[in-house]
Every structure is written in structure tokens, then in C-alpha cells.
Amino acid sequence: MQAPTTAIHIMHADPIMTVGMHTILAEQPGLRVTSQLRQPEAQRVARVLVADYDTGVALARQGVGAQAPAVLVVSQFDKEWEVRIAMDAGVAGYLPQSCAPDELGHAVGLLVRGQRYLSESMTRSVAESLTREALTGRETDVLQLLAQGCCNKSIARKLGIGVGTVKTHVKGVMSKLDATARTHAVVVATQRGLIRPGTGPIQL
């Protein structure tokens, strides 16, 4: 009699990553591994979904109830806010793309058993973020426009607020990011994952 198997479905946007993870996980005993590339219908019966960042966060937000599959994100995004957004969305596990094959297998095994997994480096990143004061919604709006190179007058016009109010928000952003200048604030925000290069801030 065959031992029962647990369905693992890979939905990663990177085809090479998909093939690599499939090869690694297929060697784990008790797992039946499928991928979106060849068997998209297998998603319906999967116990664990392995995905890239955007796909994983979307899947986690869709999953409701005890029967929803656990989501494991494997991503190059490793900034504190990126990780926190994913975990807040309901992602059960998070690994960097540079993780070792053994860690991938270990993480999937924990998710199969209903546990959660966060890599050591990402655990440190999230822990550090919890000690920092969060930006307000309006400060985040101002930060986005700072990143786009807008001056105070332009920010005031775009947000429909006074220039004095903009200066207050800029001061708050710089204080919370421990930045010495506007450009420094944008650099720090990018490093922490509050904004991605060339885009606006990540929304919580």
C-alpha cells in the first residue's frame, strides 16, 4: 500500500526557479509536486502553494478558512516592509531566492504540518522594523512624491495641502527615517523597502 502524499503546487513567475524547486521538492518523501507550468489545475488540491512575491501575497489574501492552502513565498525581495506586508497578508512562509535546498524542503515540511517559517535573515529584518516608528499615511504620500523629485510647492499642489504642512511632513519623514537630507530619506526608504526604485511606496 502506497504511503499518502501531500500535494505541493509551484506557482512561481520565474520558470527556472520553478524547475529548480520542483526538482528539489520532488526528492522529498511524501510529497507530490506539480507546477503551474504543466499542471495548473493541480492548484485546487494543493496543501502548500510555493510562489513568487506578488503571486504569493495575492494568493494569501484570497485564501480564507481552514481549508485554504498554506502559501510559501520564495523571493528576492527581502526588505523589512516587503516581508511584513506578505506576513500580514497571510503568507505562512517566506524564503530568499538564495536559500539552500535543505531550507526549502524544511520550510515546506513545516507548512505541511500547519506551522509557519521565516528565514533567519528575514526574521531579523522584521524584528528590527518593529522597533522603528511607522510613517503615517500622509507622510508616506509625501515620501512617494519626494522619491519622484517633487519640490515642496509641487507636493503641496498634488496633495491639496499647504506648503507649511508639507514641510512638517517632510520633517517627520526625515526624523523617522533618521535621514539628514531629502535625498537621504529616499535612499533609506528604498533600502528598507518602503519604496522600490522607480515606483511609489509599498502600501500596507
Asked if 64 and 123 sit in the same domain, the reply is yes
Asked if 178 and 106 sit in the same domain, the reply is no
Asked if 187 and 106 sit in the same domain, the reply is no
Which residue, among 112, 104, 106, 109, has the nearest Cα to 17 in the 3D structure? Answer: 104
Asked if 119 and 23 sit in the same domain, the reply is yes
Asked if 59 and 21 sit in the same domain, the reply is yes
DSSP state letters, 51-97: E-HHHHHHHHHH--STTSPEEEEEES---HHHHHHHHHHT--EEEET
Q: Which domain holds residue 27?
A: 6-130
Rounded distance between C-alpha atoms, residue 126 and residue 196, angstroms: 17
Asked if 25 and 97 sit in the same domain, the reply is yes
> Is residue 186 situated within a structural domain?
yes
| Mean pLDDT of the 51-62 span | 94
Cα angle 143-148-150, degrees, rounded to a multiple of 5: 80
> Is residue 201 situated within a structural domain?
no
CATH of the domain at 151: 1.10.10.10
> Is residue 85 situated within a structural domain?
yes
Which residue, among 47, 115, 113, 122, has the nearest Cα to 84 in the 3D structure? Answer: 122
Asked if 47 and 104 sit in the same domain, the reply is yes
The residue type at 36: Q
CATH of the domain at 11: 3.40.50.2300
User: pLDDT tens digits for 75-91?
Assistant: 998 877 788 788 888 99
> Is residue 198 situated within a structural domain?
no
Domain count, the chain: 2
Asked if 105 and 57 sit in the same domain, the reply is yes
In the chain, the N- to C-terminal Cα span, in Å, equals 48
Asked if 152 and 119 sit in the same domain, the reply is no
Q: What is the pLDDT of residue 16?
A: 95
Final residue of a structural domain among 79, 95, 130: 130
> Strands 6-11, 31-35: parallel, antiparallel or unpaired by DSSP?
parallel
Asked if 17 and 74 sit in the same domain, the reply is yes
> Is residue 176 situated within a structural domain?
yes
Q: What is the pLDDT of residue 203?
A: 44
DSSP state letters, 192-204: HTSB-TTS-BPP-
Final residue of a structural domain among 108, 130, 152: 130
| Mean pLDDT of the 21-27 span | 96
Out of 18-22, 50-54, 128-132, pick the least confident.
128-132
> Is residue 199 situated within a structural domain?
no
Residue with cell string 529616499: 186
CB 58 within 8 A of CB 91: no
Q: What is the pLDDT of residue 168?
A: 94
